[in-house]
């Protein structure tokens, strides 16, 4: 466990996040690799929030795409030395490219990309078709623009390219025998190049694969990729709903019923978890829970918002653990693999991770609104970073264990190519594809964005509070 001094030092270091400055963790070059610094400009000067990609001399992506910072700059580390690199940048319909860039071992190269608005009749969409959750390409998959005479077949590496896609809001469909079709939405602007990675789920995954479960106050709705409702569960005052991947059951935090309700996918109630029992004379129950989640051991972890605590309830409805930390209206909690509990301590403007002894071992936020402002959801990612729904600042952030910003959408890094930036989001989860599914509450919708903040799927949903993807 870290000492109080260590935790305080961590919180002080996090202040950069709340001040709108971007700090990335050090990523020194290996001895045989190089680094490339790209500055994106237009006629008015440096461009922040531009989507930047680097391709090597063989036309393959050299790492993940990134967004330029407030100075219009982005850095790509650990590039293989060689000639013929191409740098592409796009922002709000304007594009630019630098070709013939050389990378030297142990050196830092610099290049400037000048953006200009294209005047072509349409745009280009390119990317990869993969097997969902397997990070394996799917050669031979067909990719098409629905309602348009534009299609392509993925090559031996799963890559595809759609040329001359008409400008406007387009629906892209990928299909392959033995797999469920995958559908994505994309706003195409004239003269732009768009990257779109599409995942297909095998039919053995079940008929609910890639369905999205959306929580609004009065109901939980499951929709397919085509936005068609397939199940609806009526609720009293729902704040979250997660699906048990093993059983298919849905766990709903219902604040009006002061309980977490487990139902079948059709809405038949199976269990009520409120931490009370006859022998306790129905005392000790939860009050106005805003979040409920399954733990790896099969117990239920409830953000007992009205009682300023987090409680763990077993299948017999016994309260078997509760946090004694000084919480204030927590909205979400999840149990980590190491037994710790990560909590969105909303009223205290912080995230806190506590161990089984109820002692803090990690934190984000200092109690003010400078770092995080009323965070409503959090997720510990497989890479050790943490995804934070910073509702009060209308943004979603990924921070590393040192509290430094790695990725962000909303706030100063707006949703790309969309007239609406995030507005009071209430949940965000990282999908196996690397995209992020967000309940954009203030904009009455659920959106899926890629690493460049481009919307690749969306569903209208009045005051959506939570979203889960199967």
pLDDT value of position 93: 58
Q: What's the rounded Cα separation, in Å, for the pair 413 and 68?
A: 9
- Provide the sign of the torsion angle of the four alpha carbons 358, 360, 361, 363, taken in this order: positive
User: Which position has the higher pLDDT, 131 or 60?
Assistant: 131
Mean pLDDT to the nearest integer, 186-215: 89
pLDDT value of position 31: 60
Token pair 């609806």 in the structure block, residue: 232
pLDDT value of position 25: 33
In this predicted model, what pLDDT tens digit does every residue of 35-47 receive, in sequence order? 999 999 987 889 8
In eight-state DSSP terms, residue 29 is P
Mean pLDDT to the nearest integer, 118-135: 80
List Cβ neighbours of 134 (8 Å cut-off, separation of 6 or more).
none
- φ and ψ at residue 16, rounded to 5 degrees: -60, -35
Mean pLDDT to the nearest integer, 116-137: 80
Name the nearest CA neighbour of 375 among 10, 14, 13, 3: 14
Name the nearest CA neighbour of 211 among 188, 176, 181: 181
Beta strand ranges found along 346-461 (DSSP E):
350-354, 360-364, 375-380, 386-390, 395-399, 405-410, 427-430, 436-440, 445-449, 455-460
pLDDT value of position 116: 76
Residue 132's pLDDT band (boundaries 50, 70, 90)? confident
Token pair 């067909």 in the structure block, residue: 142
In this predicted model, what pLDDT tens digit does every residue of 353-377 receive, in sequence order? 999 888 999 999 988 888 999 999 9
Q: What's the rounded Cα separation, in Å, for the pair 19 and 16?
A: 5
Token pair 């969105």 in the structure block, residue: 344
pLDDT value of position 325: 80
Residue 7's pLDDT band (boundaries 50, 70, 90)? very low
Whether residue 21 has pLDDT greater than 50: no
Whether residue 105 has pLDDT greater than 70: yes
Q: Specify whether the CB–CB gap between 148 and 138 falls below 8 A.
A: no
Which domains, from first to last, does the chain contain? 31-117 (2.60.40.10), 122-204 (2.60.40.4130), 206-469 (2.120.10.30)
Structure tokens at 441: 């509450």
Length of the chain: 470
Of the listed ranges 236-240, 274-278, 294-298, 412-416, the one predicted with least confidence = 274-278
The string of DSSP codes covering 85-127 is: EEEEEEETTEEEEEEEEEE-TT-EEEEEEE-EE--SSEEEEEE
Q: b/e per residue, 226-238, with b = 16+ CB within 10 A?
A: eeeeebebebeeb
- Provide the sign of the torsion angle of the four alpha carbons 358, 364, 368, 369, taken in this order: negative
Distance of CA 147 to the CA centre of its chain: 29
In this predicted model, what pLDDT tens digit does every residue of 256-299 receive, in sequence order? 999 999 999 888 999 999 987 544 434 568 999 999 999 999 99
Mean pLDDT to the nearest integer, 378-392: 97
pLDDT value of position 117: 60
- Provide the sign of the torsion angle of the four alpha carbons 245, 247, 250, 253, taken in this order: negative
């Amino acid at each position: 466990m870290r000492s109080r001094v260590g935790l305080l030092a961590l919180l002080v270091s996090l202040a950069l996040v709340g001040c709108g400055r971007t700090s990335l963790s050090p990523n020194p070059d290996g001895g045989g690799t190089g680094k490339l610094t790209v500055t994106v400009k237009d006629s008015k000067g440096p461009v922040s929030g531009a989507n930047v990609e680097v391709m090597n001399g063989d036309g393959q992506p050299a790492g993940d795409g990134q967004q330029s910072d407030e100075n219009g700059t982005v850095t790509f580390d650990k590039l293989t030395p060689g000639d013929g690199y191409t740098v592409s940048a796009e922002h709000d319909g304007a594009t630019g490219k630098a070709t013939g860039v050389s990378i030297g071992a142990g050196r830092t190269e610099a290049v400037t990309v000048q953006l200009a608005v294209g005047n072509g009749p349409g745009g280009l969409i390119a990317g990869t078709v993969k097997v969902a959750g397997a990070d394996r390409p799917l050669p031979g998959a067909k990719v098409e623009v629905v309602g348009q005479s534009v299609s392509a077949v993925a090559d031996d590496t799963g890559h595809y390219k759609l040329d001359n896609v008409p400008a406007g809001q387009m629906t892209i469909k990928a299909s392959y025998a033995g797999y469920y079709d995958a559908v994505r939405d994309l706003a195409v602007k004239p003269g732009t190049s768009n990257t779109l990675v599409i995942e297909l789920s095998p039919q053995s995954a079940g008929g609910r694969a890639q369905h999205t479960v959306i929580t609004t106050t009065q109901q939980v709705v499951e929709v397919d990729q085509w936005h068609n409702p397939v199940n609806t569960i009526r609720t009293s005052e729902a704040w979250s709903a997660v699906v048990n991947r093993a059983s298919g059951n849905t766990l709903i935090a219902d604040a009006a019923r002061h309980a977490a309700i487990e139902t079948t996918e059709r809405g038949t109630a199976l269990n009520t978890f409120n931490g009370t029992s006859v022998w306790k004379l129905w005392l000790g129950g939860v009050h106005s829970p805003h979040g409920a989640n399954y733990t790896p051991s099969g117990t239920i972890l409830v953000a007992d918002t009205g009682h300023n605590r987090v409680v763990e309830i077993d299948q017999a409805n016994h309260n078997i653990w509760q946090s004694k930390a000084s919480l204030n209206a927590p909205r979400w909690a999840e149990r980590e693999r190491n037994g710790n509990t990560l909590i969105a301590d909303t009223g205290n403007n912080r995230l806190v991770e506590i161990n089984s002894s109820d002692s803090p071992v990690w934190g984000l936020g200092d109690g003010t609104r400078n770092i995080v402002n009323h965070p409503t959801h959090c997720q510990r990612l497989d890479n050790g970073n943490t995804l934070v729904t910073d509702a009060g600042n209308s943004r979603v952030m990924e921070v590393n264990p040192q509290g430094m910003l790695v990725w962000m959408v909303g706030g100063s890094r707006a949703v790309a190519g969309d007239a609406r930036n995030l507005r009071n989001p209430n949940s965000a989860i990282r999908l196996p594809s690397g995209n992020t599914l967000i309940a954009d509450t203030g904009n009455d919708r659920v959106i899926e964005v890629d690493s460049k903040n481009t919307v690749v799927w969306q569903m209208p949903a009045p005051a959506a509070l939570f979203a889960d993807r199967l």
